[in-house]
């Protein structure tokens, strides 16, 4: 069935009059010797990185993908490589892209695809030419390890299709992905990533928790997805420290980050679009107390970027979107301090950041513990969020939206006496 779908959506030969020339110039012998010659320093293309659970009715994200691929009629390659059911996933994405005005074609490259030879397909010259000649590519969700295993040979070198994706991206195409398709965007990705609390407790293991991604966003930013609904900002911290990342971009569900290189310069422009927002972590000033065996970090910066907000890495500057106005005079101080007993809960970190940003209190605290049956239930972590001179907050008077930038974040290990319940 997948082969029939692919045949339905694959480009007609007449659409590629220069396929032979394209494959020879962009994917042929010159690609195998790419390291010997200088590659373009800055891609001309764009990335649309969705945090998972991307709904068919999210017109803003789908239209952005189509527009960046060339507008109505743009050819977009659909990769269901990560999917457990690639036929169904590819069909869904192709239908949504077609409804948004694109002309999608399905790339038959998936380990779960019946009667398919992934290794052969990944180095198929005709298939690679079709990808290189497209205006964009879209990677579905699933298991990100299936994507990297399919697009890289066992010795770690790039396949013809991966080289084609880079050629398309460098000349101005868009590479988009959701969930697993987002994880592959950074040079390091979560592989068999654990939940946030176990990650903080047990640390990061190379090859199990993290592994090489495809690196389309470059080496500057670490990417994670399903961010706010699963509290994953916390698991980004040890991963970023392990691989020495300064910036971490965590994108929520049904939301996307559009990443471009403005004016062809090395820095990135990151704009959030869609339903909710994204967390940006900056460890440029962060420190770790090596004398403590448990995970800890001090003086990190955490920001919440709402839909419409933009961040420029070159100047480390934020620009709030829409009609947001800066909160110059915070509301009355609350009694006590802002606190949540489950900082890793759904939207908990954003809610706490907003209370801190919109009020007069200088500090907020959240804690994270596992259940009585979890490993080492007495061990947990305290997250302290503090306003610093560079902290800023914005809100919209027309919609229930807000942004909070550059809040200090400190995390330290704590213990809770067990058992929690005793007979009276």
Q: Can you spell out the DSSP letters for 197-211?
A: HHHHHH---BTTTEE
Q: Is the pLDDT of residue 335 over 70?
A: no
pLDDT digits (tens, 9 = 90+) for 202-216: 999 999 999 999 999
**Which residue from 369, 418, 203 is spatially nearest to 294, judged by alpha carbons?**
203
Q: What per-residue confidence (pLDDT) applies to 329?
A: 75
**Domain 2-282 annotated CATH 3.40.50.880:** yes
Mean pLDDT of 325-338: 78
Q: What phi and psi values does residue 163 have, to the nearest 5 degrees?
A: -60, -35
**Is residue 272 within 8 Å of residue 248, measured between CB atoms?**
no
Beta bridge partners of 137: 77, 175
Q: Which pLDDT score, from 0 to 100, does residue 422 have?
A: 65
Give the pairing type, strands 297-306 and 277-282: antiparallel
pLDDT in tens, 372-411: 888 899 999 999 999 999 999 999 987 789 999 999 999 9
Which residue intervals of 268-415 are DSSP H helices? 348-358
> What band does 322 get if pLDDT is binned at 50, 70 and 90?
confident
Q: How far is Cα of residue 358 from the mean position of the Cα atoms in its chain?
A: 27
Q: Give, for 213, the enclosing helix (H) or strand (E).
A: none
The 10s digit of each residue's pLDDT in 258-306 is 999 998 788 999 999 999 999 999 999 999 999 999 999 999 999 999 9
- Neighbour tally for 422: CB within 10 Å: 5
What does the pLDDT read at residue 18? 32
Query: What is the pLDDT at residue 373?
Result: 86
Separation of alpha carbons 412 and 116, rounded Å: 49
pLDDT mean across residues, the chain = 89
Domain ranges in the chain are 2-282
Other residues' Cβ atoms within 10 Å of the Cβ of residue 125: 16
- The pLDDT assigned to 263 comes to 83
pLDDT at 372: 87
Average pLDDT over residues 75-89: 98
Please report the beta strands in 261-331, taking only residues with DSSP state E, as ranges in sequence order. Answer: 269-274, 277-282, 297-306, 310-312, 317-319, 325-326
Please give the radius of gyration of the chain, using alpha carbons only, rounded to the nearest integer: 23
């Amino acid at each position: 069935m997948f082969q029939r779908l692919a045949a339905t959506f694959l480009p007609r030969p007449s659409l590629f009059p220069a396929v032979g020339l394209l494959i020879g110039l962009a994917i042929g012998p010159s690609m195998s010797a790419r390291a010997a010659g200088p590659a373009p320093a800055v891609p001309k293309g764009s990335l649309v990185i969705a945090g998972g659970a991307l709904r068919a009715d999210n017109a803003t994200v789908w239209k952005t993908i189509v527009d960046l691929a060339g507008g109505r009629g743009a050819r977009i390659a659909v990769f269901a490589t990560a999917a457990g059911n690639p036929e169904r996933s590819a069909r869904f994405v192709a239908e949504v892209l077609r409804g948004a005005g694109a002309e999608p074609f399905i790339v038959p490259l998936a380990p779960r695809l019946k009667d398919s030879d992934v290794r052969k397909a990944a180095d198929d010259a005709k298939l690679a030419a079709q990808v290189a000649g497209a205006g964009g590519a879209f990677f579905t969700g699933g298991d990100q390890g299936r994507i990297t295993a399919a697009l890289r040979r066992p010795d770690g070198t790039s396949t013809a299709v991966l080289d084609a994706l880079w050629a398309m991206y460098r000349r101005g195409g868009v590479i988009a992905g959701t969930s697993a398709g987002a994880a592959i965007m950074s040079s390091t990705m979560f592989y068999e990533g654990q939940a946030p609390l176990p990650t903080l407790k047990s640390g990061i293991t190379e090859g199990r928790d993290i592994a090489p991604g495809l690196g389309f966003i470059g080496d500057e930013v670490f990417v994670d997805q399903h961010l706010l609904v699963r509290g994953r900002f916390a698991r980004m911290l040890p991963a970023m420290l392990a691989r020495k990342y300064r910036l971490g971009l965590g994108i929520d569900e049904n939301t996307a980050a559009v990443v471009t290189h403005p004016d062809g310069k090395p820095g990135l422009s990151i704009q959030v679009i869609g339903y909710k927002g994204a967390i940006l972590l900056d460890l440029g000033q962060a420190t770790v107390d090596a004398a403590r065996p448990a995970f800890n970090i001090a003086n990190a910066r955490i920001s919440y970027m709402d839909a419409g907000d933009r961040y420029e890495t070159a100047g480390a500057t934020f620009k709030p979107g829409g009609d947001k106005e800066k909160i110059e005079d915070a509301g009355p101080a609350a009694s006590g301090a802002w606190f949540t007993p489950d900082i890793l809960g759904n939207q908990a970190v954003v809610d706490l950041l907003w209370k801190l940003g919109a009020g007069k209190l200088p500090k907020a605290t959240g804690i994270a513990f596992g259940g009585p049956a979890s490993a080492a239930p007495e061990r947990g972590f305290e997250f302290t969020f503090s306003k610093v001179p560079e902290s800023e907050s914005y809100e919209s008077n027309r919609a229930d939206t807000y942004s909070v930038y550059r809040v200090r974040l400190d995390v330290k290990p704590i213990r809770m006496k067990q058992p929690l319940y005793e007979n009276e």
